[in-house]
Amino acid sequence: MDIMEAHNPEPSRTWPYVAIIVLVPLAAVLGVIALLILRPDDDNAALVAQVLGFSVTVTMSTLAYLKSADTREVVNSRMDEFKRTLQLSANAAESAAHAEGEKIGREAANLRTDMLVTKADDLATKADAIHAIVDDTSTVLKTHDQWERDRLATLSADATTGLRRRDDP
């Protein structure tokens, strides 16, 4: 509700004001007429003043109450609108923070993944180097084993040949 609506209330909201402005003075006039009819011979000026004073007091206090109720309703509606706006802002801020958190989380996960891939590559390189050393060692051992076999075979052949020479007359 904007300021113009507060100054020009809708017709459905003005009927209580009109009713109070019309009905209370009408009741006061009827009360004065009834007083004059019931007490035609007495001086009714004091009673008429009391009835009219009561009428004015009731009218003004009721109008003040209605206006305060309308003002309270306007203030409450603006507060509700303000709360909705704050809630929408809070929801938007929460969504933005959530999206930023997801982005930062993805970046951190990507960084961890890259780091793990780098470590895995380093380990794979080291494993390849170890396999190369094992292959080289295996080749050396095979070569050494072959050399040992060849040497033993040569020694054995030499020993057999030497024994035959001794046995030969």
* Mean pLDDT of each 10-residue bin along the chain, 169 residues long: 53 81 93 91 89 93 92 92 92 91 90 89 88 81 76 74 56
pLDDT of residue 144: 72
Identity of the residue numbered 91? N
Buried b (16+ CB within 10 A) or exposed e, 18-49: eebeeebeeebeebbeebeeeeeeeebeeeee
* Helix locations, the chain, DSSP H: 3-7, 11-38, 45-167
The reported pTM is: 0.48
pLDDT of residue 133: 86
Asked whether the CA dihedral 125, 128, 133, 134 is positive or negative, the reply is positive
